[in-house]
Amino acid sequence: ETGVTQTPRHLVMGMTNKKSLKCEQHLGHNAMYWYKQSAKKPLELMFVYSLEERVENNSVPSRFSPECPNSSHLFLHLHTLQPEDSALYLCASSQERSQYNEQFFGPGTRLTVL
């Protein structure tokens, strides 16, 4: 248990559905991250929030929409996804956005887009 929880753990959705992934951290951290983990590819950073402000958006398609209502919660809203978006989506948090601070990861949401 790393102090970062994600729900749901598994999600199957059609291409026309709208769903949301939720992440919650209980560590008092100020920075939160979304990563995409696909088979045979390195982890891809999608979004970074620091003190609830988005500070990085790595050329992610607009069908992925992040939301950070407070420093403990992070959402990823999904709509009109493609089958190639099927992957493990990992949330992480860190004390602050610093090169010295390790990131703590949640267990991930396994997403399948049909």
Q: How far is the CB of 23 from another protein (least distance, A)?
A: 11
Q: How far is the CB of 92 from another protein (least distance, A)?
A: 8
Between 4 and 81, whose beta carbon lies closer to another protein?
Answer: 4
Distance CA 72, CA 12 (A): 26
Residue 23 belongs to what H/E stretch? strand 18-25
Between 2 and 20, whose beta carbon lies closer to another protein?
Answer: 2
Q: How far is the CB of 102 from another protein (least distance, A)?
A: 5
Q: Look at strands 87-94 and 10-13 and give their pairing.
A: unpaired
* 8 cis-preceded (ω within 30 degrees of 0): yes
User: What do you get for the CA distance between the two ends of the chain, in Å?
Assistant: 31
- In the complex, the residues that contact another protein under the rule CB under 8 A are 2, 4, 6, 31, 33, 40-43, 45, 48, 50, 55-56, 90, 92, 94, 96-108
